[in-house]
Amino acid sequence: MWRFLFWRSARIPSRSLLVVLSLLLLILLLKPATSFTVEVAPGTVECYITVATQGDDFLGNFEVLTGGSYAPVEVTVEGPDGKLLWRAADKSEETFSFEAEENGDHTLCISNGARGRADDGIPRLVGFSFRTDVLVDEAIASEQSIRRLIELGNSLTKGLTNVMDHQSYMRQREDLHASTMESIGSRVLIWTVVEAVVLVGMAVWQISIISKFFEVRRAV
């Protein structure tokens, strides 16, 4: 009886400790989002390389920030041997996640009207993220409930990383729109001032013409 009670009292803190350690490890592994922005000229391809080892988890996403139609944009990920691992076309944004199959350089390429796609001559600003993340190893969990917690934590880690990336893209898009609106506002103000000056000038000219007309009639 006493042995059973002692086993129960020791078991509960150990399980709680595993939960706490798992959550702390998830927080430590949740790194700040690292997203990039690149302007892809018409008819060109921009490529970026990330080194990974077999079994690493790849996380990434992209979003077309400017350029109107996103039909010419194509994003691909290739393995060290040139094998196509992921592809997205005719989409304004997308996320991806997969496990590296072998060691070596993995390449993400963003094309704008290249590789057989229609080129409309418009440069496009594309935000993207391409990284490998070390997720919590299930080996630290000895029970099914803890394993499920870790799986959920890994899923949340991927989701939060993508959310932070898209927040970064939204801030960049907001800055671009604010700059455009400021430019439009300045042009409207300048045009309004010029229009007012022209109207005042025309009014003065018309008054002058009418005054001269009446002066001529009086003289006659």
C-alpha 88/C-alpha 94 separation (Å) is 7
Distant-in-sequence, close-in-space partners of 140: CB < 8 Å, separation ≥ 6: 18, 21, 22, 25, 146, 150
**Choice between 23 and 70, residue whose per-residue pLDDT is larger:** 70
- Beta strands 44-52 and 104-112, pairing class: antiparallel
CA distance 92 to 216: 71
Contact 18, 141 (CB under 8 A): yes
Residue type, 84: L
Q: What is the pLDDT of residue 212?
A: 75
Structural domains in the chain? 2-174 (2.60.120.380)
Q: What is the pLDDT of residue 36?
A: 87
pLDDT tens, residue by residue, 130-146: 888 655 555 554 566 56
**Is the pLDDT score of 82 beyond 80?**
yes
Distances (CA, A) of 46 to 84, 85, 192, 213: 16, 17, 43, 71
Does the pLDDT at position 157 exceed 80? no
Question: What pLDDT, on the 0 to 100 scale, is given for residue 11?
Answer: 39
Residue 10 or 52, more confident: 52
Average pLDDT over the chain reads 77
* Residue 167 pLDDT class (50, 70, 90 cuts): confident
Range 73-98 burial, b when 16+ CB lie within 10 A, else e: bbbbbbbbeeeebbebeeeebebbbe
Helix/strand/coil percentages in the chain, nearest 5: 50, 25, 25
pLDDT of residue 84: 93
Predicted pLDDT at 40: 92
CA distances from 159 to 67, 122, 126 (A): 27, 32, 20
The CA distance from 215 to 220, in Å, is: 9
pLDDT at 135: 55
Whether 152 has a pLDDT exceeding 80, the answer reads no
Helices (H), strands (E): how many in the chain?
A: 2, 8
